[in-house]
Every structure is written in structure tokens, then in C-alpha cells.
A = this chain, B = another copy of it.
Amino acid sequence: MTLKGIAVRPLKKLSRRLWVGVDVGGSKVAVLVVDTQRRVRGRATAPTDVSGPERTVASIVAAIREGLRAANAQMEEIAAVGLGIPGRVMPETGVVQLAVNLNLKEFPVGELLEAQIGAPCFLENDVRVATSGVYHFNGNHTLRNMAYLSVGTGIAAGLIINGELYRGSSGMAGEIGHMVIDPQGPRCGCGAFGCLETFAAGPAIARLGRRAVELGTSRLLKDSEPITAESVYEAARQGDTAAQAIVEKAGRYLGQALQWLVTAYDVERIVLGGGVACAGDAFWQPIQRELDRQRKTSPLASDLLTSDMFHLLPADYDAGIWGAIALAQHRLEKEQEETASWESV
């Protein structure tokens, strides 16, 4: 509370008018600096150092310094920092419980960042931060209930319920990448067999691409090295039948997952994004074919899976970093309200 208190008071003097959004990835940290009118003042990316917890924090601070330099600004001008972390986060304490790709476990990232930056730093799981970005900046804020399905290295849904980010009781709501979609499927990193991620996440698509090369069934993929989800989608786009079969199957499972999401949450809109979704039409069309199949088979599905329900996030819209800005503003506002109500007691 003390550090946050320091930051809160100067804001009233309007000297702290910059907001910093940070998207912390396993390989790079992306930073956006905006002013109170949300005009972009600076951007930066810097490599993530995952060789030790303190070093990870230091590389985040270095990236923020880089962003400030681009904005021609000082640390003292920061009102608050919002950060998206790929893992389990406790937003109240700023402790990262587990972030495998960042090599962090039960580590007080928020506290250390605040000590080095001198402004409030708010942490949240990256998919939830991106959900906030999709909700606040893309004309979706009129919706009461919405989901953001992120398909990348993992698969997870972020949820807006009654206009608020829904975390669940232990911050695990929407972890649908680990819903078992076919118990006969391959083993997942979580131990279970046939989780959605084992069929449709980036690493699964890449693995199936590599297997197609081993089996000699793909004409185009054997020339791409390394084989990634991106190269499999690209090969599919160029007419490679083995790659097409892979993305068709992934689309079928993702379409099934969308039916689940609608049936479970009854949201007004589902936005799809994430690294794999950047493949655009090659990603989206197999999903649409599965949704069309469901609509043709079932009147209930046709009723629920309306055509305007699903939106693909434009590949150039950085929901993670804008969501981090929204998070910083929303959380600081809430904290100041709480402080004000305490002061008036």
C-alpha cells in the first residue's frame, strides 16, 4: 500500500499522466506508452531474460525504460503500469504463482517492479488482459457478456460476465484448452489425454506438420525449417493437401469448442485471436465450415451460433498491450475510489 500511496498522490497534481502497457512474453517484452487521451507516446520491445526471476523482472524494467526513452519521458511521469503475464497471477498481491515460460514460481513480481519503477504496477494473466483489450477498445464494451478465445501456444478463453472480467474462484476460469475433447487423443502437458490443446494449439499443429514431413505426405512443408503452426497454415493456403487436412481437423475441434463456449456461457460475442489466429482466413475458414455443419444439423445450434456472434481479431490489433493500459487505468481508478472512501470514514 505504501508504494501505491506514493504514486496516487502526485497523480492529483497531474504530473503523472503517462500510462504504460506491458505484454510479457517468453521471448520478448512489448511496451506501449500512452497519455491520458490514449495517444501513443512511445513503443518498445526488448528480449525477455528468463535465466532467473530477478533477471526476468530486470528485463521488464529495461523494456519499460526503453519505451520511456521512445516517448521522451521520465519514470516520474508514469501514473501506473499494467502487465499481462503468461501464467497464474494473483492480481491483489502481484505475485506470479506459476509462469512456466518465464521461469517464475511464487515470485513477487509486482512488488519488485513497483520498487524499481516507483508507480503502481498491476498484473493479470495475459489472456485476461487481452480480453480487457478486446472489450474496451473494439466497440465491444456495449456487450454484457463476451468471450475472447486465444489460440496460440496454449488455448484459453477470457470472459466478460455482466460487464466485468470474470476470473473464477482460483483464477482458472476459461482454461478450456484443457477440456478433454477426445479421450482417445494424444497426451497433453497437463497429463490428461485428448485436451483441446493437443489438437489445435500452435505446438500441436507444428507437431502434426513435422509428422507429415516424416511420412512424406506433404509437398510444401519439407522446405520450411523449422516447421511452425504458421508454416502449416501457409502451406494449407498454398494448396498442400496434408497441411489442409491438419488445419481442417484443428478447425473442427475449435468449432466444437466454440459450441461449448456458447452453450456454457451464453455470451453475445466470441472474439478469436492469438498467435495461431494470425493465419487469418486459413485459420478461420475450417472453423466456419464446422460451425455451418452444426447449424445445418441442429435447429438449436442454428439458433445459438448466429453468424454475427464470431469475430476474428485483426492480426495488427494488439489486444494484449492495449488491455494492459485498460487494466492499469481501471485498477488505479478503483484503488483511488477505495482510498477516498477510507479517507471519508
Which A residues lie at the B interface, using CB under 8 A? 143-145, 161-162, 164, 166-176, 178-180, 183, 188, 190-193, 256, 259-261, 263-268, 294, 297-301, 304
How far is A268 from B301 in the complex, measured between Cα atoms in Å? 30
Q: Knowing A161-B161, A176-B264, A264-B176 are in contact, say whether A297-B170 is a contact too (CB < 8 A).
A: no
How far is A178 from B302 in the complex, measured between Cα atoms in Å? 13
B169 x A144 contact (CB < 8 A) = yes
How far is A261 from B174 in the complex, measured between Cα atoms in Å? 10
A168 x B265 contact (CB < 8 A) = yes
How far is A267 from B162 in the complex, measured between Cα atoms in Å? 17
Measured between beta carbons, the chain B residues less than 8 angstroms from A265 are 168, 173, 264
Residue of B nearest to A266 (CB): B168
A263 x B175 contact (CB < 8 A) = yes
How far is A268 from B167 in the complex, measured between Cα atoms in Å? 12
B256 x A298 contact (CB < 8 A) = no
B266 x A179 contact (CB < 8 A) = no
How far is A266 from B159 in the complex, measured between Cα atoms in Å? 12
How far is A168 from B183 in the complex, measured between Cα atoms in Å? 29
B192 x A264 contact (CB < 8 A) = no
Measured between beta carbons, the chain B residues less than 8 angstroms from A301 are 190-192
30 A–B contacts from the bound complex (CB under 8 Å) = A143-B169, A144-B169, A145-B169, A161-B161, A162-B162, A162-B164, A167-B266, A168-B265, A168-B267, A169-B267, A169-B268, A170-B266, A172-B263, A172-B304, A176-B263, A176-B264, A179-B260, A179-B263, A180-B256, A180-B259, A180-B260, A188-B298, A190-B298, A190-B299, A191-B297, A191-B298, A191-B301, A192-B294, A260-B264, A264-B264
Measured between beta carbons, the chain B residues less than 8 angstroms from A192 are 294, 297-298, 300-301
How far is A172 from B260 in the complex, measured between Cα atoms in Å? 12
User: Lowest 4 CB-CB distances: which A-B pairs, in order?
Assistant: A168-B266, A191-B298, A190-B300, A173-B266
A183 x B256 contact (CB < 8 A) = yes
- Which of A169, A170, A299 has the most chain B CB within a 10 Å cutoff? A169
